[in-house]
């Protein structure tokens, strides 16, 4: 059985289709960005199952054996971090934020990139809240585009660091979840985290779109309560 329902031919065909008028050198740059995104998603896939294994009592030695690395290497790479309680959709939004920073050749991940990541995950509650308020995904995208710094000269390889205000927003997302009594950190909490960092670009974008912190908090609280009630929880 193939480990993934995707092939090299699929990836090449999609890139060629999306960039029909670019030369081969430009396609190399885009291919490298997509390869990094695939790598980031792969790391998060492993993190997900490492967390599941720890929940059922697996040791770091056993996890290291399963990955094919030492106990120390497994613990160093996959020990719980700031995204431990993030939902899969929210983890994906972080990957999309990193991809947005690479695409724009920025050397760090700002709150505006995090907001782009949330907008890129239409299955998340944050996306629904953003579009319901503004009545247009494009309106939000345009507002973010206006706030993005100019593109850099060269896309970074490997890890891209979070800016201090982005780290603060990630911390505020966890606090927002705790304030609401939730044991997960979803895209909706990430959105709350962004608007709570008041001087950040994302918070300014959200305020310009008509959001307030208190209103957003109440919207998220109500929507989650309705969803849980509908499930009978």
pLDDT in tens, 171-199: 999 999 999 999 899 999 999 999 999 99
Give 14's pLDDT tier (boundaries 50, 70, 90). Answer: confident
CB of 76 closer than 8 Å to CB of 60: no
Phi-psi region of 102 (alpha: psi -120 to 50; beta: other; left: phi over 0): alpha
Highest mean pLDDT among 27-41, 95-109, 115-129, 150-164: 115-129
pTM of the model: 0.69
DSSP symbol at 182: -
Which residues touch 216 (CB under 8 Å, ≥6 apart)?
129, 191, 192, 195, 206
Strand ranges (E), the chain: 108-109, 161-162
- What pLDDT does residue 10 have? 87
- Beta pairing, strands 108-109 & 161-162: parallel
């Amino acid at each position: 059985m193939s480990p993934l329902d995707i092939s090299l031919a699929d990836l090449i065909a999609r890139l060629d289709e999306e960039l029909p008028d670019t030369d081969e050198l430009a396609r190399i740059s885009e291919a490298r960005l997509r390869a990094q995104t695939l790598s980031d998603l792969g790391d998060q896939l492993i993190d997900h199952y490492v967390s599941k294994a720890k929940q059922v009592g697996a040791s770091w030695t056993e996890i290291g054996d399963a990955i094919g690395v030492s106990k120390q290497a497994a613990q160093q790479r996959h020990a719980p971090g700031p995204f431990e309680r993030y939902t899969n959709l929210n983890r994906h939004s972080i990957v999309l934020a990193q991809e947005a920073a690479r695409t724009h050749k920025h050397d760090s991940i700002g709150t505006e990139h995090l907001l782009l990541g949330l907008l890129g995950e239409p299955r998340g509650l944050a996306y629904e809240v953003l579009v319901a308020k503004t009545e247009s995904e494009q309106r939000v995208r345009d507002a973010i585009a206006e706030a993005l710094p100019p593109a850099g000269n060269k896309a970074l390889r490997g890890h891209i660091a979070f800016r201090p205000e982005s780290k603060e927003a990630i911390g505020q997302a966890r606090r927002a979840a705790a304030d609401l009594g939730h044991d997960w950190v979803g895209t909706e909490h990430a959105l709350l985290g962004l608007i709570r960092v008041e001087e950040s670009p994302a918070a300014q974008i959200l305020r310009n779109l008509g959001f307030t912190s208190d209103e957003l908090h109440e919207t998220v609280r109500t929507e989650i309560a309705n969803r849980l009630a509908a499930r009978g929880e």
